[in-house]
C-alpha cells in the first residue's frame, strides 16, 4: 500500500506515492489512497478533540511524505473521509504515530460518536496548491 501524496509542480497537478518521491520511479501497481478502520477516541486539551489513530503500518510512509507536506509542528495536511463524509484537516503527530482529527460537523453528519469504529480514506497534500 502506498500513501498518496498530491503535489502541484509547474502548475500541473500530480499524484505521487511516498515511494515514488523516494526513488523517482513508478511502483508496481498504482498508488492508492489508504483505507483503514479505527475507533474514535477523545484527546482532552483546552477543548475535547476526537481522532482516529493512523495504523502503524501506514506511519512510516506518512512520516516520509511529511518531509514534503508538513507545514509546521509535524502536522500533515490531508483530504479524508470518515464513513463516506469528506473533509480536509491535518494529521497531528503523537507518540511516534499520527492522529486524524474528525471534525464535529463530520461526526454529526455521519452519526459518529466516541468509541465508534469508522472507515477512513485519506490522501496527503504536498507543496503548493494545498
Which of 125, 120, 129, 127 lies closest to 35 in space, CA to CA? 120
The answer to whether residue 8 is domain-embedded is no
Q: Are 15 and 31 in contact (CB under 8 A)?
A: yes
Domain that residue 88 falls in: 33-123
Percentage of the chain with pLDDT > 70? 69
Q: pLDDT value at position 46?
A: 66
- Measured CA to CA in angstroms, residue 126 lies from 62, 92, 95, 99 at distances of 11, 15, 23, 18
Q: Are 59 and 71 in contact (CB under 8 A)?
A: no
Q: Band of the pLDDT at 74, cuts 50, 70, 90?
A: confident
Q: What is the mean pLDDT of residues 23-43?
A: 67
The answer to whether residue 86 is domain-embedded is yes
State the cell numbers at 86.
469528506
The answer to whether residue 84 is domain-embedded is yes
The answer to whether residue 128 is domain-embedded is no
The whole-chain average pLDDT of the chain stands at 77
The answer to whether residue 19 is domain-embedded is no
Of 22 and 35, the one with more pLDDT: 35
The answer to whether residue 91 is domain-embedded is yes
Q: Band of the pLDDT at 50, cuts 50, 70, 90?
A: very high
Which of 38, 80, 29 lies closest to 56 in space, CA to CA? 38
4-9 and 117-126 strand pairing: parallel
The secondary structure of 42-88 as a DSSP string is EE-SSS-EEEEEPPHHHHHHHHHHHHHH--BTTBEEEEEEETTEEEE
Q: What is the mean pLDDT of residues 41-46?
A: 81
The answer to whether residue 93 is domain-embedded is yes
Of 61 and 53, the one with more pLDDT: 53
CATH number at residue 96: 2.40.30.100
Q: Band of the pLDDT at 10, cuts 50, 70, 90?
A: very low
Q: What is the mean pLDDT of residues 68-78?
A: 85
Amino acid at each position: 500500500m502506498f500513501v498518496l501524496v498530491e503535489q502541484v509542480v509547474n502548475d500541473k497537478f500530480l499524484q505521487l506515492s511516498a515511494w515514488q518521491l523516494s526513488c523517482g520511479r513508478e511502483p508496481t501497481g498504482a498508488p492508492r489512497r489508504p483505507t483503514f478502520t479505527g475507533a474514535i477516541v477523545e484527546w482532552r486539551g483546552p477543548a475535547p478533540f476526537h481522532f482516529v489513530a493512523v495504523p502503524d503500518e501506514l506511519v512510516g510512509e506518512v512520516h516520509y511524505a511529511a518531509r514534503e507536506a508538513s507545514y509546521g509542528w509535524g502536522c500533515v495536511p490531508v483530504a479524508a473521509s470518515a464513513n463516506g463524509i469528506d473533509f480536509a484537516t491535518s494529521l497531528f503527530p503523537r507518540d511516534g504515530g499520527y492522529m486524524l482529527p474528525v471534525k464535529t460537523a463530520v461526526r454529526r453528519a455521519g452519526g459518529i460518536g466516541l468509541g465508534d469504529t469508522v472507515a477512513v480514506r485519506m490522501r496527503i497534500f504536498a507543496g503548493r496548491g494545498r
